[in-house]
Structure 1
């Protein structure tokens, strides 16, 4: 797919009123509560409870004071021009993240991270919460929030347990992702366990309580409270690639229509054909059905088939992604990193009622350290033989060194009976320590 994300790890995302995202509280009391202090107190308390002697107390002090500070600053300019009455959007924003990770204490560590998004100059764009509805949307609201705060335990063999607000994504972000392209990323209030005891196998299981969405707590759409068990089993023991089986039971508390059960298989890998060339391939199939209190009854499938060739520094891929429709109820993935799917112009953040078929071809290379990528999409419906138009995307990114990155990106969507012609452009620079 057209990923522009940084490499994924198992736990991998002002003006106005300062807010923070919903914490891990009982669902019946979630609305309006902002108890980050209590969660941090719980985290530190769990460490204190393990301290039985003055010697251990000193070790705890070392862990709390001898940790590591993280800092990330990203400036971005985003331009949007649509063939409709809305004014052009000009969004100039700075996203700052400041975090602290404690040292290890008897297998425990605590991490906390604040995130601030500030506009540079006037907000000449619709952030979804700034009442600038005469401009096109750039979903980067200016808010300050707690982005992550969690306790992690690594005291069990081949196992990592994480409780709290965390950056979390699986596979290619199609079902569960961080939406890392937006200035305010998506994080999850969750309990996540990952185990690697079996040879070549990673088992990730967890329970999601809330999705802290990109719109911020200042928006009525800023949170997705849920009761969602998940399981993802990845096996890397095959020479040809990695096989993944997964099951995600999404039970949304305030959005029943999005509650679904999802089960699927994914296989991705590559095979060397010469010293300088490798064949690439990805196959995925999933089935989605109504779940919990979803008022609709439906069953729709997801298909992905992608083939590619990487040779002499150039990678070319062609693929078809299908999100089926069951008589008007289409396959949806509301927790995905949707910007990375089906075009950077963001015309298919919600799958159309008639489903979606995305036929795409991409070519990428690195020239003197500059990452270059071009991708073309042709869109159509799954049922009723509708054309949705096409899109061209272009990307150039340059990592100056391990701390500094600059980049530019462009997307142009041409409608064909759905939506409006849309052009988007971005310039950005990032500093990360």
Structure 2
């Protein structure tokens, strides 16, 4: 009954928005004619096969997202967006992370219907301000992202200020008081987070400095403070990236400090791009690993999601990738080799992984893809097992 009520509510909202579109399209009022609505769907089949006692998992889900953007008036505008994720055709043998079917392997796509975004925006000259529920992404998503790969993407209840102080300098600040995570609203977290990001463009690339001060608002001390700097650029066929950060954590009176290092180089020729890189999420004496809780974690350290949380021994990820074009689509193959940053007598080799993806757009509105991840475990005491994951999807947007 609850699901029916949720779907009925969403249907009513779609009809209401469609009516608004009709009025807008036929109105001579300039303000209303600039308003717009959009809808997109993502139908995805996912399987997980792990070498442990959990049953193999599979699920077919449909994510629907409805967006309405108002016209701009005196610099003010707004967005309202709803998101719904459903299991389809009875294919639902999986652990959805909210205590359903825990005998299966995890696929983090629980059923949910929720308000994805709802904010008011003000733009004038070099200043843009937003207040409300919103998507926030910074740089390459390593620290702050929307986790858009999952069906229920991550948003934040926040106030955000973006200011172009100079032609080459951009300043971004956000205060977050709620993290609307990917596990439906039952696992959302209230917070007191400060995000400061400064980006300066030079003749050789972009230099970025940042400060991310995070705290879950649960009545106990749990600060996670990260300060860092990065540089990325491109010259002719070469691309380059380097980053360094330090992190201090205080939880229940226990203090930890560690660091982060990333370096990557790329070369493109014809339709092929080759990249080599290393990412080191440090450890404090094998007691605490560098953490990025607001990141789009699926993008980093292998698509099988073995390292969504950094091991307490830290993580060294040496990787190589090759990407290109074929049959009007794009493909990528990547290899990862994982090891501990601070090895112990029992944990050093953290395994390896192969990733592959092919995606193709059909006309203006449709896209389909196939994706594969195969993780081979290292030291048994690290708690990892061999894992294979496959995804097949088709999406549409209008």
Q: Output aligned runs, 1:1-400, within 5 Å.
A: 15=3, 18=6, 63=31, 67-122=35-90, 123-129=92-98, 131-154=100-123, 156-217=124-185, 219=186, 222-236=187-201, 238-254=202-218, 259-272=223-236, 278-290=237-249, 295-327=253-285, 328-384=287-343, 386-400=348-362
Q: CA deviation at 1:200?
A: 1.3
Bigger relative contact order (CA 8 A; separation at least 6): 1
Q: 1:17 to 1:174 in 2, by over 3 A?
A: farther
Contact 2:34 2:72 in 1 (8 A): no
Q: CA deviation at 1:257?
A: 7.2
Once the two structures are overlaid, the 10-residue window that deviates more, 397-406 or 338-347, is 397-406
SS, match of residue 120 in structure 1: strand
Describe the superposition over 1:79-99 as per-residue Cα deviations: whole angstroms up to 9, x where unpaired: 100001111111100000011
Describe the superposition over 1:104-158 as per-residue Cα deviations: whole angstroms up to 9, x where unpaired: 111100100000001012221111125201111101011100000000001x311
TM-score normalised over the length of structure 2: 0.89
TM-score normalised over the length of structure 1: 0.82
Describe the superposition over 1:344-398 as per-residue Cα deviations: whole angstroms up to 9, x where unpaired: 0000000001000000000000123211100000000001260000000000010
Q: CA deviation at 1:279?
A: 1.1
SS, match of residue 416 in structure 1: coil
Structure 1: any 5+ residue segments left out of the alignment?
A: 1-13, 20-58, 273-277
Q: CA deviation at 1:17?
A: 7.3
Structure with greater strand share of residues:
2
Q: 4+ residue stretches of structure 1 with deviation over 3 A?
A: 14-19, 61-66, 255-258
Q: Which residue of structure 2 aligns with residue 428 of structure 1?
A: 393
Structure 2: any 5+ residue segments left out of the alignment?
A: 8-26
Name the CA distance, whole Å, in 1 between partners of 2:156 and 2:4. Answer: 24
Name the CA distance, whole Å, in 1 between partners of 2:331 and 2:143. Answer: 26
